[in-house]
Amino acid sequence: MKKNSNLKLQKSKAHSYRFTVGRVLQVAVALVFLVFTARFLYIGISKTVNGQNLSQRTKQLYKRNEVIKASRGTIYDCNGLAIAEDSHLYTVYAILDKSSINYKNKPEYVVNKSETAEKLAKVLPLSADKIYQYLNPKYKAFQVQFGTGGSGLTLKQKKQIEAMKLPGIKFVATPSRLYPNGNFASHIVGLAQPEYNKKTNSEMLVGTMGLEAYFNDTLTGKDGYRISTVDASENQSPNQNQVYKPAENGNNLYLTLNSQLQSYLEARLTEVQKAYDPTSITAVVEDMKTGKILAASQRPTFNPQTKKGLTKSYRNILVQDTYEPGSVFKVLSFAAAVNSGNYNPNEYYRSGSVSIGGSTIHDWLTSGWGTIPFSQAFERSSNTGFVKLEQKMGSKTWAKYLKRFHIGEKTGITLPGEQPGFISFKTPVDQAVTAFGQGVNVNVMQMMQAYSSLGNNGQMVKPQLVDKVTDFNGKTIKGYQIKKVGTPIYSAKTKRVVLANMRKVLNKQSGTGSAYKMGNADIGVKTGTAQIANPKGGGYLKGDSNYIFSVVGVYPTKNPRYCIYLTIKQPHLAGTTAEKILASIFKPMMSRIITMAKSNNSHCP
């Protein structure tokens, strides 16, 4: 009886416990339900979760923000031939993560690595084994690239790979610049390369040298954008408003360079560079009437398309390097002596050497030519004759002419990094040697500016590389007009005397420039042989090749329009002469110019 009573008591307690637990669970479920219901009601009314507006978030999820890339302006030659224009290069990559499935439930990852490697090897400069290694990284990766072998691909290579329809193979486009002519006024045109832009989170082309750098803001466009509504498959929804701002493409540059002359000049310089391995060569062809540079180049140079040679020739030595010009500077000092009334062609002087301020200055022919008239000083390139002319002028008068020629001042040509040079003019010896181009440092374009005075009766004009700027549709925004520099330095009469003496330089009996004679062509020249300062100090370098050899020539001397100025530094003469080396560039270039001038073909407006 007692046993049955205990059993009933135990059953009663168990029932009571189950009832209590059940009630607690009911209350808990009710509370959870109430919390979720309240939360859902709050979200439904406020449309906000964790401080984020759901309506706005939904719009964001179904909004596509598309950047419309602006094109960089094109650089043309004077006849409208493109010499630098926009392009794209591509980097190929492979998605390996198997969760990459598109909305059609098709794989967006590499399915067959062996087959993919074999096919890619037909286009990429990589073996199938190497590609297979890239596709099997040591550590788990969402995607992989293929090193340098998978970057810098052309559009043709990209299309070849796309035609293979390989799952998981994708491309990233990189803005690039196309330089179709290769070695073509490379330091003048310059270089534009892709750089990362934090504002747009993308790469854009930026000019890093030459005209590409100087006119970077002009050439660079402004990106546009499009904001549109899309569905879950990223397709644009019909009949939906979109916000659209078109891109503003960069402006174009039309240069003064003539592609035919430029290409011909490049070929001549390459021949000389290979044959005589000089430290450097510079060459400029100018229309002296306008200051337009028709062709200009240097060695060493580089190919802007392949970047070959870039690390060894980054400097634009036409404006960034200064040097002592030597006897080609006598064109300036002779004009100054004639114009100031200090040149008497019939007066005689003793050549060979002259003492001044305790120093002795020699002619290049140290024994001289005896007692000769000043009328022979220019054609013989007599240093002693020019020292005496400087003394006749006096340092104040000569300094005034140097100032009027703007020596020691930048030309302001549209190239970055121009150096002004300098003049050593403290002592009588300093002052005297400047008359034959020593103790004065110039850049090539300063000399071109000074020589332009021969084409304009003593009036210098600024050297120009850009003819006009147009917008992307070809409308002219800015035209570059002839810019006179200062006032006329000398008279038309002085010009005629200088040109007559430049013609005499071609005389085989007494002139230093007979190597440049071209039959009966109406040209005049002046040669130069400048010593090179010892970089370690203590005077000048010794040796037959340790000079900067140069020549300046004009055509026609009756009414000068075209000027060629060449320099070559430390060539390996190999049994020949510097004059013959320079003549191998000068004569064919001048011949082209004469033909062009007579026919008026392929000449820029």
* Active-site residue, 327 included: yes
List all residues 6 or more positions away from 91 whose beta carbon is below 8 Å from its beta carbon: 145, 150, 151, 152, 153, 171, 172, 174
Measuring CA to CA, how many Å separate 557 from each of 455, 493, 501?
9, 13, 10
Give the span between the Cα atoms of 183 and 234, in whole angstroms.
45
Two structure tokens written together for 248: 């503003």
Give the span between the Cα atoms of 536 and 517, in whole angstroms.
39
Q: What backbone phi and psi angles, to 5 degrees, belong to 337?
A: -65, -45
CA 580 distance to own-chain centroid? 31
Give the span between the Cα atoms of 315 and 415, in whole angstroms.
12
Give the span between the Cα atoms of 299 and 278, in whole angstroms.
8
CA 241 distance to own-chain centroid? 43
Helix (H) or strand (E) run with residue 271 in it: helix 259-276
Q: What backbone phi and psi angles, to 5 degrees, belong to 509?
A: -75, -40
Q: Is 290 helix (H, G, I), strand (E, B) or coil?
A: coil
CB atoms within 10 A of CB 439: 19
Give the span between the Cα atoms of 81 and 71, in whole angstroms.
18
Q: Which of 327, 351, 375, 381 is catalytic?
A: 327
Two structure tokens written together for 418: 């121009």
Give the span between the Cα atoms of 149 and 90, in whole angstroms.
11
Please give the angle made by the CA atoms of 462, 477 and 293, to the nearest 5 degrees.
30
Residue at 124: amino acid letter: L
Residue at 133: amino acid letter: Q
Are 120 and 166 a contacting pair, CB within 8 Å?
A: yes
CA 29 distance to own-chain centroid? 75
Closest CA to 414 of 256, 539, 274, 283: 256
Residue at 603: amino acid letter: H
Q: What backbone phi and psi angles, to 5 degrees, belong to 156?
A: -60, -45
Q: Tell me the Ramachandran region of residue 326: left when phi exceeds 0, alpha when psi lies from -120 to 50, beta otherwise.
A: left
List all residues 6 or more positions away from 117 whose beta carbon is below 8 Å from its beta carbon: 128, 129, 131, 132, 135
Measuring CA to CA, how many Å separate 65 from each of 59, 171, 228?
12, 20, 7
Which residues are catalytically annotated? 327
